[in-house]
Structures are given as structure tokens and as C-alpha cells.
Amino acid sequence: MNENIQSADAIKDIRNMMERSSRFISLSGLSGVSAGVCALVGACIAYPYVYNGKDFIINRETAIAQQLRGDSAIILNTWLFWIAVGTFFAALVSALIFTGLKSRKDGTEMWGITARRLMINVSIPILVGGTFLYALLISGNVAPIFFNVGFITPGCLIFYGLALINSSKYTLNEVRYLGYLQLLSGLINLCFPAYGLYFWAFGFGIMHIIYGLYMWNKYDRKTESD
């Protein structure tokens, strides 16, 4: 009988070690919450430019010149571009901070083999998606300051969803379901292009916060009370 208990323990050890060496599990739920909050703040800042007719061109004179030249750098001359960049980095940095804190507490290395693999797999669809959407944006600048914005928010959500699904093999499995939901919101957004910012705020903001709270409640809260 004792041998059977030993075999059961051995199997448990094997499974545990396979998991631990192939998945980065120190992803903090609070990272999701903070990224979601950043997204909502970003969406609020962007709102008047998108829906209330606030002028999103930074410098009109250069913009007109850029327009005449067909210069794609006109993108950099819009407030919306910099709001997007700022939101992205704020979300990324805040997510890294909470996950860094958690991995330090868990005693796992932040840049170990599993974290690196996760970063590579999440980055590929994001970088490709970002490049693709940038190309799409500048391809629309022939008409007077009119960009192909209709496809931008669905594109962000779809590529992000694919990135999550692709990388869920290398971290907590729940990430996959967040990926499906992002993908779905992106696809629905395609039918309602005028409401892009709302979908964006829902996908990157609300869904991140809900997911983050769920994960925090499931994994992190328990260890904090230990």
C-alpha cells in the first residue's frame, strides 16, 4: 500500500514540475485591474476628441503641410496617437509592477525561462497587429485628415485577443478565456464601427478589471492571507 501512495506522490510531483517549468504563474490579478484602469482613463481623455469634435490635431499648420505632402508622419501630429501611446505604456508598466511584486513574493524569477517564453509569445501578435494597424492608419491619409479609424479598435481587440489565446499555453489557463472575449468584442465592433471607443473601453478597460478581480480573488487573495 505504501508503494501506491509513493507512486501517487511521484505522479503529482511530475505533473507539478511540468506545470511549473512550462508556465509563468506569477501573473498578478492586480496587473489586469491596473491595466484596465489605465485603459479607462485613456478612453476618458480620448472621448472629447473622438465624439465631441475637440480638435485632435496638435499643430494645424504643419498638419496642412503634411497633408499636402502626403506625409504619414501626420499621425504623430495628433493628440489621439499620443494618448494611445501613453495609455499603452502606462498599462504595460503598471502590469509589470504588480506581476514583479508577486513573483518576488512567490520567489520565482521575473525573467526566468517561463516569463521569457510568455513575453515572446504575447509580443508576436501584438507587434504584428500594431504594425498592421499603423499601416492601415497611414493608408487612409489621402482624404483631408480622415483616417481609417473604423478598423482600428476592432483591430486592437482582435490582435490582442489572438495574443492572449496564443500565450495562454505559457501562463495561467484563464488568460485564454479573456482572449476569446476580446476577440468576440473585436468582431462585434466590426459591425458598429462608429462606437469604436466604447468597445475599446469595454474590452481593454472593463473586461481587464473584471478578469483581474476574478484572478486576484482566485489566486492572490488566498496567498496574502497565508
Partner 1 sequence: MNNPIDNLNKLFDSRVRLGIMSVLSVNASVSFNELKELLEITDGNLASHLKALEENKIIKVEKGFIGRKTNTTYAVTKSGEKEFRLHINALEKMIKASK
Contact footprint for partner 1 (CB under 8 A)? 1, 3-4, 7-8, 10-11, 13-15, 17-18, 20-22, 109, 112-113
- Complex with partner 1: residue 4 or 52, whichever CB lies closer: 4
String of DSSP letters for 77-120: GBHHHHHHHHHHHHHHHHHHHHHHHHHHHHT--TTSHHHHHHHH
Taking the complex as a whole, the smallest distance from the CB of residue 15 to partner 1 amounts, in Å, to 8
Q: Which residue has the cell 478565456?
A: 177
- Complex with partner 1: residue 38 or 118, whichever CB lies closer: 118
- Complex with partner 1: residue 15 or 54, whichever CB lies closer: 15
String of DSSP letters for 12-63: HHHHHHHHHHH-B----HHHHHHHHHHHHHHHHHHHHHHHS----BS-HHHH
Taking the complex as a whole, the smallest distance from the CB of residue 225 to partner 1 amounts, in Å, to 24
- Complex with partner 1: residue 70 or 112, whichever CB lies closer: 112
Taking the complex as a whole, the smallest distance from the CB of residue 173 to partner 1 amounts, in Å, to 15
Taking the complex as a whole, the smallest distance from the CB of residue 26 to partner 1 amounts, in Å, to 13
CA distance 38 to 55: 23
